[in-house]
């Protein structure tokens, strides 16, 4: 296994999720199956895991890695926002635990070619689920200037959103946007030098914003947070690992405002220095945990 394939906060997930024999667990983000494998191990010999993964490539890899668990694992090639319908389809009404490990897998980031990284020249795609119709290029080439500015501002917290949106619209009147390096060039020219951030790439926030918009990430997250809580058995745990403040805020609020949940982590759990050193992706991870209250609301 390459270092980046190491699942984030693995020991903490097992400690807080408390997988047990006979339990039913949901992994909303199978990815390469790292957390899923550990949950299946910890719930030997008959715990069940239902794993969601909307990226065909990641799912193929997860299936390979988890094949030895046989019928204890169910693979769902769908958006985790379909949790309720998908579980009903499997005849599951209640679950013992839920895990979300949001964002991109190292496969999506490292393999390249899908526009998630601003390094090199890649098609501006950014869909995690290739069955979805709209790519980042479609969005950039058709959305109104104001909508683009809002996307960059709200989903990227990019202060130069208006300037960048204006530059995108000005460019696409001459030629449609197609590649990541084209977009990086537009951002670099649109943002005055003195506003180029010191610690991150000048395109980082716009790329994050586009990915969130193309994949409807915040809408999906809100939905799974609500539906997931409703499916938990009394005492069952909901663990959610997020990687940026927009996600973390949604998780924090959804847990705190849902009266059927009790928040177990007043402050989020974060990886220690050693994990961050081994796995750079862990640095921004925050895990929050809630439990379903006893007795039905
Ligand atoms: C950070 S990775 C998960 C890594 C995994 N926990 C592991 O240990 O290997 C996130 C994965 O979630 C998937 N994903 C993100 N949003 C999703 C959604 N709404 N529905 C289904 N899968 C999603 C991505 O395609 C990606 O493969």
Write out pLDDT tens, residues 230-262.
999 999 999 999 999 999 999 999 999 999 999
Q: Given 145, 180, 214, which residue is the final one in a domain?
A: 214
Q: Given 173, 194, 214, which residue is the final one in a domain?
A: 214
Are 99 and 25 in contact, with CB atoms under 8 Å apart? yes
Kindly state whether residues 141 and 208 are assigned to the same domain. yes
Q: What is the mean pLDDT of the chain?
A: 95
Is residue 296 very low, low, confident or very high in pLDDT (cuts 50, 70, 90)?
Answer: low
- In ligand 1, the atom with minimum distance to the C-alpha of 36 is 8
Residue 37 within a domain = yes
Residue 121 within a domain = no
Kindly state whether residues 156 and 172 are assigned to the same domain. yes
Task: Say if residue 297's pLDDT is above 80.
Answer: no
Kindly state whether residues 225 and 191 are assigned to the same domain. no
CA distance 171 to 118: 18
Distance 102 CA to ligand 1 centre (A): 6
Pocket of ligand 1 from Cβ distances under 6 Å: 7, 29, 31-35, 52-55, 58, 79-81, 101, 103-105, 128, 220
Kindly state whether residues 258 and 170 are assigned to the same domain. no
Residue 51 within a domain = yes
C-alpha count within 13 angstroms, C-beta hemisphere, residue 51: 33
In the block, tokens 């869909």 appear at 127
Kindly state whether residues 96 and 184 are assigned to the same domain. no
- In ligand 1, the atom with minimum distance to the C-alpha of 37 is 8
Q: What is the pLDDT at residue 1?
A: 38
Kindly state whether residues 209 and 260 are assigned to the same domain. no
Torsion of CA 285, 111, 80, 224, to 10 degrees: 20
Residue 124 within a domain = no
- For the segment 21-35, the average pLDDT, to the nearest whole number, is 97
Distance 30 CA to ligand 1 centre (A): 5
In the block, tokens 């839920």 appear at 98
- For the segment 196-210, the average pLDDT, to the nearest whole number, is 94
Kindly state whether residues 155 and 90 are assigned to the same domain. no
Q: What would the pLDDT profile of 108-134 be if each residue is shown by its tens digit?
A: 877 778 999 888 899 999 999 999 999
CATH label of the domain that carries residue 17:
3.40.50.150
Q: What is the pLDDT at residue 2?
A: 43
Kindly state whether residues 160 and 28 are assigned to the same domain. no
Of 194, 35, 217, 193, the residue nearest 129 (C-alpha): 217
Q: Given 157, 184, 214, which residue is the final one in a domain?
A: 214
Are 232 and 94 in contact, with CB atoms under 8 Å apart? yes
Residue 297 within a domain = no
Number of domains in the chain: 2
Kindly state whether residues 67 and 142 are assigned to the same domain. no
Residue 112 within a domain = no
Q: What is the pLDDT at residue 134?
A: 97
Q: Which residue has the higher pLDDT, 296 or 100?
A: 100
Task: Say if residue 107's pLDDT is above 90.
Answer: no
Residue 118 within a domain = no
Are 93 and 235 in contact, with CB atoms under 8 Å apart? no
Q: Output the six-digit token pair for 97.
A: 């635990």
Q: What is the pLDDT at residue 54?
A: 96
Residue 122 within a domain = no
CATH label of the domain that carries residue 198:
1.10.150.170
- For the segment 50-70, the average pLDDT, to the nearest whole number, is 97
Are 289 and 238 in contact, with CB atoms under 8 Å apart? yes
| SS3 state of residue 261 | strand
Stretch among 58-67, 110-119, 142-151, 283-292 having the lowest mean pLDDT: 110-119
Kindly state whether residues 79 and 96 are assigned to the same domain. yes
Domain that holds residue 206: 133-214
Kindly state whether residues 143 and 268 are assigned to the same domain. no
Residue among 57, 105, 130, 208 to mutate when testing ligand 1 (max atoms within 8 A of CB): 105
Q: Output the six-digit token pair for 107.
A: 């496969």
- In ligand 1, the atom with minimum distance to the C-alpha of 30 is 5
Kindly state whether residues 207 and 244 are assigned to the same domain. no
- In ligand 1, the atom with minimum distance to the C-alpha of 52 is 21
């Amino acid at each position: 296994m390459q270092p980046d394939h190491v699942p984030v906060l693995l020991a903490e997930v097992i400690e807080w999720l408390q997988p047990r024999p006979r339990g039913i667990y949901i992994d909303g983000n199978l990815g390469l199956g790292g957390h899923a494998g550990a949950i299946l191990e910890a719930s030997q010999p008959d715990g069940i895991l239902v794993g969601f993964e909307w990226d065909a490539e990641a799912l193929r890899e997860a299936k390979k890695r988890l094949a030895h668990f046989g019928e204890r694992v169910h693979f769902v090639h769908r958006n985790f926002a379909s949790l309720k319908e998908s579980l009903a389809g499997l005849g599951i009404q209640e679950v013992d635990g839920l895990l979300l490990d949001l964002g991109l897998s190292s496969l999506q980031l490292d393999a390249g070619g899908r526009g998630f990284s601003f390094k090199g020249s890649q098609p501006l795609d950014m869909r995690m689920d290739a069955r979805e119709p709209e790519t980042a290029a479609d969005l950039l080439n058709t959305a109104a200037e104001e909508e683009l500015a809002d996307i960059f501002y709200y989903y990227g917290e990019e202060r130069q959103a208006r300037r960048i949106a204006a530059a995108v619209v000005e460019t696409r009147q001459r030629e449609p946007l197609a590649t990541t390096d084209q977009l990086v060039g537009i951002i670099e020219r649109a943002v005055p030098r003195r506003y180029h951030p010191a610690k991150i790439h000048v395109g980082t926030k716009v790329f994050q914003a586009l990915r969130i918009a193309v994949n409807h990430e915040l809408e999906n997250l809100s939905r799974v947070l609500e539906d997931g809580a409703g499916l938990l058995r009394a005492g069952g745990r909901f663990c959610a690992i997020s990687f940026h403040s927009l996600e973390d805020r949604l998780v924090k609020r959804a847990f705190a405002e849902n009266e059927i949940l009790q928040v177990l982590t007043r402050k989020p759990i974060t990886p220690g220095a050693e994990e961050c050193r081994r796995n750079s992706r862990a640095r921004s991870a925050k895990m929050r945990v809630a439990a379903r209250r006893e007795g039905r609301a």
